[in-house]
């Protein structure tokens, strides 16, 4: 007797990934490509130098409609959604009453009574249950529309010129963290100048059944297959790109045990906007000062830090690595970790316990990588 | 399909052995390097260190993961492929050639007979991927 295999969820691009030789892995219950035949290093470098295309259809989308939408979103998230204008997106977080993080998300404002929350794949159901249980004005209608959309992220310095071949939308007029609606290759789409790589780029949302058409057309438009063309990229490259760019990953840098202030996300804590879940705890922590802080580090001896390893200073275990990896573009080994604030200064010498061997590292400022604008 | 040269011996941990007199050259197989992805770092022993058969002699790291490597035979490390410090990608591009890892002076050369033949190893990897 064997237990029935757990059915993995699939994005509308599952067939395309398999057709193109993607190596499929179980990512939080989703059957996703961790890399394509080009390999993680090449996918990472191509995104920095030309363009990479990522399937991020597993992300969740929750519509918040009705006249009380902005007030409702403001009551459950830490950033100030009232500052958004139509066609603008905002990085924010769902917080617990302790100011820790239920999820990080993007808030898209289409109109003052029409907003969409884009949340992480692995937390979509948890977020939905939490959001739906929060008190709200009867005008507010919630709908989990995750399965209706595909989401493709085209990232890199060539992203604009590639996508422009497929749309009449004036892409260079879309500002960072803004979006527009129109057609991409004749398909109705939302085109958002956002991403998770530290590069310029766009995220395209469209009906799920148009995913493969858009995927193939974007690869064609970007001369995929040529040495300087767009490459399809897997989750491993997405992770190293976001880490070089110093961005938090839910479940690693942030979760329900870390507060936004500890995670250096004070910039999305708008404590004066009015009350929201977790506001009091965050205000109190801000006044008292955090005891530990998320920092970036780079290895100064040979060795690669990995997630969950201990940070050691003067023989004492003082913190843990939240993400550790080679940084393919920077050609260094880097990571992020929580350490006590008194040990969080730039230049602080630390060691990482790499499977029993103490390897020297030092705290550096983040982001590790910043593109030239 | 992974390349499995006829003249080598194989372990179930995906290492290969080439016998040169009383010395065994050890590396990881094409199948192993392909599963691992881009190799970016290796932790290898120093000459003179001793290992028993099936003992871990170091680690191979890709961008995403760390894998231990196990000595298929017992003996003393005679030579380490230092070139891999600067060019770890040789493990991917030439796993049976320039991607070799250590040379071991065998203490029990008979152990080689208990390793898998090329045909046996091929069957073993097929079963593993099914």
DSSP-derived secondary structure for A136-184: --TT-EEEE-GGGEEEEEEESTTHHHHHHTTB-S-GGGSPTTBEEEEEE
Domain count, chain B: 1
Please say whether the dihedral angle defined by the alpha carbons of residues A368, A47, A188 and A174, taken in this order, is positive or negative: positive
Asked whether the beta carbons of residue A41 and residue B61 sit closer than 8 angstroms, the reply is: no
**Full pLDDT tens readout for chain A, 373 residues:** 445 457 899 999 999 999 999 999 999 899 999 999 999 999 999 999 999 999 999 999 999 999 999 999 999 999 999 999 999 999 999 999 999 999 999 999 999 999 999 999 999 999 999 999 999 999 999 999 999 999 999 999 999 999 999 999 999 999 999 999 999 999 999 999 999 999 999 999 999 999 999 999 999 999 999 999 999 999 999 999 999 999 999 999 999 999 999 999 999 999 999 999 999 999 999 999 999 999 999 999 999 999 999 999 999 999 999 999 999 999 999 999 999 999 999 999 999 999 999 999 999 999 999 998 7
- Per-residue pLDDT, A2: 46
Average pLDDT, chain A: 97
One domain for residues A324 and A219: no
H-helix segments, chain A: 14-19, 40-49, 69-76, 124-133, 159-164, 211-221, 235-244, 279-288
* Chain A: residue whose CA lies nearest to B64: A236
One domain for residues A217 and A318: no
| A227-273: pLDDT as tens digits | 999 999 999 999 999 999 999 999 999 999 999 999 999 999 999 99
| Domain extent at residue A190 | 14-59+148-244
| 8 A C-beta contact, residue A286 and residue A332 | no
Q: Is A323 on the interface with B (CB under 8 A)?
A: no
CATH number at residue A236: 3.30.1360.120
Domain count, chain A: 2
CB atoms within 10 A of CB A151: 25
- Tell me the residue ranges of DSSP E strands in chain B: 9-10, 15-20, 23-28, 39-43, 50-51, 56-62, 66-70, 75-80, 102-106
Is the ipTM, as predicted for this complex, more than 0.90?
no
Q: Is A302 on the interface with B (CB under 8 A)?
A: yes
> Strand A187-192 to strand A179-184: parallel, antiparallel, or no bridges (unpaired)?
antiparallel
Inside any domain, residue A27 = yes
Inside any domain, residue B63 = yes
One domain for residues A230 and A295: no
| A323-338: pLDDT as tens digits | 999 999 999 999 999 9
| 8 A C-beta contact, residue A128 and residue A188 | no
* Chain B: residue whose CA lies nearest to A327: B63
Q: Is A326 on the interface with B (CB under 8 A)?
A: yes
CATH number at residue A324: 2.40.30.110
| Domain extent at residue B108 | 11-129
One domain for residues A174 and A233: yes
One domain for residues A160 and A228: yes
| 8 A C-beta contact, residue B41 and residue B34 | no
Tokens of A216: 């193939």
Asked whether the beta carbons of residue B66 and residue A306 sit closer than 8 angstroms, the reply is: yes
CA of A125 vs chain B CAs: smallest distance (Å): 27
Inside any domain, residue A301 = yes
Asked whether the beta carbons of residue B66 and residue A303 sit closer than 8 angstroms, the reply is: no
Strand ordering across the sheet containing A141-144: A88-95, A101-111, A114-119, A60-65, A141-144
- Per-residue pLDDT, B1: 65
One domain for residues A163 and A232: yes
At residue B100, the 3 state secondary structure works out as coil
């Amino acid at each position: 007797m064997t237990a029935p295999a757990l059915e993995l969820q699939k994005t509308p691009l599952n067939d395309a990934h398999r057709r193109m030789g993607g190596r499929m892995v179980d990512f939080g219950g989703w059957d996703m490509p961790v890399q394509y035949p080009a390999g993680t290093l090449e996918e990472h470098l191509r995104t920095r130098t030309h363009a990479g295309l990522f399937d991020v259809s597993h992300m969740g989308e929750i519509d918040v409609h009705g006249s009380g939408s902005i007030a409702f979103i403001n009551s459950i998230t830490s950033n100030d959604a009232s500052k958004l204008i139509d066609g603008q997106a905002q990085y924010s977080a769902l917080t617990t009453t302790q100011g820790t993080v239920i999820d990080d998300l993007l808030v898209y404002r289409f109109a003052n009574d029409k907003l969409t929350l884009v949340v992480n794949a692995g937390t979509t159901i948890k977020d939905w249950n939490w959001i739906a249980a929060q008190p709200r004005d009867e005008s507010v209608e919630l709908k989990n529309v995750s399965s209706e959309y595909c989401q493709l992220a085209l990232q890199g310095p060539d992203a604009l010129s590639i996508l422009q071949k497929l749309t009449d939308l004036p892409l260079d007029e879309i500002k960072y963290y803004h979006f527009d609606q129109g057609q991409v290759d004749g398909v109705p789409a939302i085109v958002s100048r956002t991403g998770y790589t530290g590069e310029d780029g766009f995220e395209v949302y469209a009906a799920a059944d148009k995913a493969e058409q858009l995927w193939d057309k974007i690869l064609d438009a970007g001369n995929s297959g040529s040495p300087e063309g767009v490459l399809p990229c897997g989750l491993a490259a997405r992770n190293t790109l976001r880490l070089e760019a110093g961005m938090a990953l839910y479940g690693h840098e942030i979760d329900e045990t870390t507060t936004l202030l500890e995670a250096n996300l004070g910039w999305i804590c708008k404590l004066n906007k009015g009350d929201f879940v977790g506001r009091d705890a965050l205000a109190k922590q801000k006044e008292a000062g955090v005891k530990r802080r998320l920092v970036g580090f780079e290895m100064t001896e040979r060795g690669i830090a990995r997630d969950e390893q201990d940070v050691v200073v003067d023989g004492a275990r003082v913190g843990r690595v939240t993400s550790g990896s080679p940084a393919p573009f920077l050609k260094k080994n880097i990571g992020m970790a929580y350490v006590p604030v008194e040990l969080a200064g730039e230049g602080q010498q630390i060691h990482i316990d790499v499977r029993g061997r103490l390897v020297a590292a030092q705290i550096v400022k983040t982001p590790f990588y910043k593109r030239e604008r | 399909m992974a390349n499995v040269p006829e003249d080598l011996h194989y372990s179930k941990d995906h290492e290969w052995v080439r016998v040169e007199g009383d010395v065994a050259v050890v590396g990881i197989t094409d199948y192993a390097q392909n599963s691992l992805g881009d190799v970016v770092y290796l932790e290898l022993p120093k000459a003179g260190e001793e290992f028993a058969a099936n003992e871990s002699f170091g680690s191979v790291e890709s961008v995403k993961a760390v894998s231990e490597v196990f000595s298929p035979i017992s003996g003393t490390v005679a030579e380490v492929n230092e070139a891999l410090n600067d060019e770890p990608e040789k493990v991917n591009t030439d796993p049976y050639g320039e991607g070799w890892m250590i040379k071991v002076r065998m203490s029990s050369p008979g152990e080689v007979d208990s390793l898998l033949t090329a045909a046996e190893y091929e069957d073993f990897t097929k079963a593993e991927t099914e």
